[in-house]
Amino acid sequence: MKGKTKKIVLAVAVIGAIAAGGVAFTDANVVPDSMAGYKDTTVSGATATAVNYTLSSDGTNIDAVVVTFSTDITGKHVRIAFNNGTLTSDCTIAGTVGSQTATCSGLTQDTVAATALSVTVND
């Protein structure tokens, strides 16, 4: 198999595993299933309604993550981390309460190596 085909097959397999096993949640926070292929997604401090990923042109890296929140995140610090790694700098918050987004850009996360996404929201 060529490299790109292997990655597509791997992504489909991981997505299938997510569908079978579900997504991990913390406390009462909720985040919907994602088609990004992650085993776990956790959100702490707010309720996320969507997580969207921007991939590099060749699909090998995650360049940005946009998280949509139903709770008010005005004035909060939103950060993300892959695989329990180091949190990013503050993400950019936009939109109106009820559908605010936090855009975390400037990333170079390998799509195959990314198995978990953590999102934190705090003062």
Q: What's the rounded Cα separation, in Å, for the pair 40 and 65?
A: 15
Q: Is 97 helix (H, G, I), strand (E, B) or coil?
A: coil
Q: Residue 34 CB: number of other CB atoms within 10 A?
A: 17
Read off the amino acid at residue 72: D
pLDDT per position as a tens digit, 57-94: 998 999 999 999 999 999 999 999 999 899 999 999 99
pLDDT per position as a tens digit, 87-123: 999 999 999 998 999 999 999 999 999 989 999 999 8
